[in-house]
Structure 1
Amino acid sequence: MSGAMQQQLDFIAYIQRLLVEGDFSATYKFALLHALADISIEKHHADPQAQLQIKFDELVDKFITLYWHQASPFGATGNNTEQLLLQNTDSSKQAKIITTLHDAKLNNINSISQLKKSQGWKNIRSSTLKTIKEGPLWLLQKLNGKEECFLYPHIKGQSYITLNAGIASCFRRFYDLVVYLAKNAWLQKIQSIKHNQALIGPQSQLHEFLFGVDRNALTKAKPILVELQSNTCFYCQKLMKNAIEVDHFIPFSRYANDLGHNFVAAHSTCNNSKSDFLAAQLHRERWQEQNLVTNSQHLTNELSDFFNCDSDKSLAVSNWAYQVAQVNSAKLWVKKGYFEEAASFKYKQPSTGLDLVAEEKPRYDV
């Protein structure tokens, strides 16, 4: 067995142990695990055995993104603090980041972009960083009272952590699994807190509340995309009249973050047919040209108040998604009922351009 394969097996075993043997009094460790997986995707490195440096500022941004929606009352439209879901097993104490972000929302801050422009951002950033450093950063890898630094060494006094050699590659390889496990453990933790059970009830949309798409924000993107695409469906290239939807080009089920450059406008029929499949190469090339080259700055200008707009990050995520598809010989959606096999691509890093080479693969229907 190769060293890389053994490390991947060890990685899966470690993540399993971390979730079973770790001490989780709050949900911060799940958020940190999710954040490490996300950043590993967004900062792709060509060498699978490379280390990956992650700055604390990147972790702060991820934590605020993950907790932003959760800092709203559950199942209510008002701002009653008592309706916030507790994220700490100490029923008398709310998770600090939830309180901080909820207070910001009470001050009419309605988006993360607004938050970063507000007078209180410096204090919020500092408070969130303190929470990360005092809590999950040095406790995530503490199993049964013992530090086992498989993911990254505990070197304090720096402004970053460094994932051990090959770990970022493991996060990329098993991203779906890691995020699935982190979210479900997070969900179970919230459900286990007695205070929350009366709010949640026997049947609830808790998963959608914690981790779903902000549909209201998507409506902000629709008119911009419709105008940009001259009112034509991104996929079938036909005129859109009714039932226009905003589609995540890289499906939300594969990468559960809203990136401003990842949206396209499409007929609802095309969107529903594409579902959670990756789009075919011809669509991908058009998406890159439309969103990452020709209209990159325009999308940033128009959508940065509502979404994270970073074209390099969007390209890195798409490269990762299509590489995984290639490894798994996945089907790529062409149009309703038609698919093609994932092609073999040669990728460049986001900073070096958008060039790629693809081998033609047969298309087939189902």
Structure 2
Amino acid sequence: MTAIPTAQQQLDFIAKIQRLFAEGEFSATYKYALLIALTEIAVESDVQDGRELLVSNRQIADKFIELYWKQTVQYVSGLPETKPGILVQNHGTQAAIVNAILSFKKSYSLSTSPLRAAKDHNEYRELQGRVAIVVSAQPLNFLQNYGGVNHSFIYARQKGQIMLLPGVVYCLRTFQGLIQQLARARWVEYIKGHKDNQAIVGQAGDLESFMFESARTNLTTLGRLLKKLDGHHCFYCGETMQSNDVDHFIPFSAYPRDLGDNFVLAHASCNRSKSDNLASIQHLENWLNRKQKKQDALQEISHEAGIVFDAQASKSIAHWAYSLALQADGSAWVKSKDFVPISQNYILALAH
């Protein structure tokens, strides 16, 4: 086991990240996407100490496609002074990755298809390769530049891959919330501030939801399918429910990525009460048992609803979330107004 970074090393890392945002050049949105991609890869890995991590350019490209796929449909603000359009992501011509995804969608009649359908397509690997070339030539080359100097503090370049340096995975996992919040906020600011987006966006205030969250139609479909699989009962309280409301088991606010087996049916009241809290041990064990026993069905449902399914990633995310909460002496939600301390038992449950 490799030693984790010291408190000072962690502070130095996040200070450099902040300098990157403050002093780096952002002529396109690629660097924001790269920071989000790297934090997700770190959280979804099995590295929990100070070890380095090899990451292929194709892995990063896959994350880029997932991030930009949602943004290659027309944004419709509904405001009278605007017109529908695809958001411009680059100063000058449209970003190459956006054009590559648009071309792929058009060539294979996938314009209205969810990303899940695209990943199943025979030519998806070709798209992944095209995006990997752009990622390698642009954001991977320039992300670590700030103040006019290259600071190789996140990764070292290798042929077809990068090496996340010792301690970096740990720091990315620790500061995931801050880094993603900064990257998303700056990305939205970039889109709003781009002159070519003014006629599309106007004074709209829902850009972040459009850019980063699953479509409500997908979640409606998912809820209907989950009811067929799990029955007409709230996952948390067990009582009968008529609606198809779904809840992120690991809160979206803690980890803003939609994965199929992270969704459960929940009463509106249970959903509101749980809010952004982690669930208690009995709910966690039920979730883990459900993942194990119904994995194939959950995968099929996710595909039908157009939502990405990755059983290992969702479990790694849960392990990360509960580990951070344990370190912070956090509490877990049992039911309305009922919380219990998070203990090592949660981590042991996730280790099996």
TM-score (norm 1): 0.88
Contact between 1:76 and 1:83, CA under 8 Å: does it hold in 2?
no
Deviation readout 1:124-166 (Å, 9 max, x if unpaired): 22221111011101110112332110001133xx222111101
- The verdict on how the C-alpha distance between 1:74 and 1:82 changes in structure 2, with shifts beyond 3 A counting, is closer
Q: 1:165-176 maps to which residues of 2 (within 5 A)? A: 165-176=166-177
Q: CA deviation at 1:325?
A: 1.0
Aligned position for 2:134: 131
Aligned position for 2:191: 190
Distance 1:232 1:3 in 2: 45
Q: Gapped runs of 5+ residues in structure 2? A: none
Aligned position for 2:25: 23
Equivalent of residue 13 in structure 2, options 11, 14, 17: 11
How many residue pairs get aligned? The number is 342
Aligned position for 2:124: 121
Q: Gapped runs of 5+ residues in structure 1? A: 357-366
Aligned position for 2:249: 249
Range 65-74 or range 211-220, more displaced: 211-220
Q: CA deviation at 1:111?
A: 1.7
Contact between 2:71 and 2:211, CA under 8 Å: does it hold in 1?
yes
Aligned position for 1:209: 210
Deviation readout 1:36-84 (Å, 9 max, x if unpaired): 00010000224x111111122211110011111111111169xxx9711
Aligned position for 1:299: 298
| Counterpart residue identity of residue 220, structure 1 | T
Deviation readout 1:150-190 (Å, 9 max, x if unpaired): 001133xx222111101000011111001001111111111
Distance 2:70 2:123 in 1: 19
Aligned position for 1:177: 178
Partner SS state of residue 75, structure 1 = coil
TM-score (norm 2): 0.91
Q: 1:239-318 maps to which residues of 2 (within 5 A)? A: 239-240=240-241, 242-290=242-290, 292-305=291-304, 306-318=306-318
Aligned position for 1:88: 90
Range 197-206 or range 172-181, more displaced: 197-206
Aligned-residue sequence identity (percent) comes to: 35
Deviation readout 1:206-242 (Å, 9 max, x if unpaired): 11111223211112221232122221110001111x2
Q: CA deviation at 1:335?
A: 0.9
Aligned position for 1:237: 238
Partner SS state of residue 173, structure 2 = helix
Distance 1:213 1:277 in 2: 21
Aligned position for 1:38: 40
| Counterpart residue identity of residue 117, structure 1 | D
Distance 1:208 1:174 in 2: 22
More relative contact order, 1 or 2 (CA 8 Å, 6+ apart) = 2
Q: CA deviation at 1:112?
A: 1.6
What's the RMSD between the two structures over aligned residues? 2.2
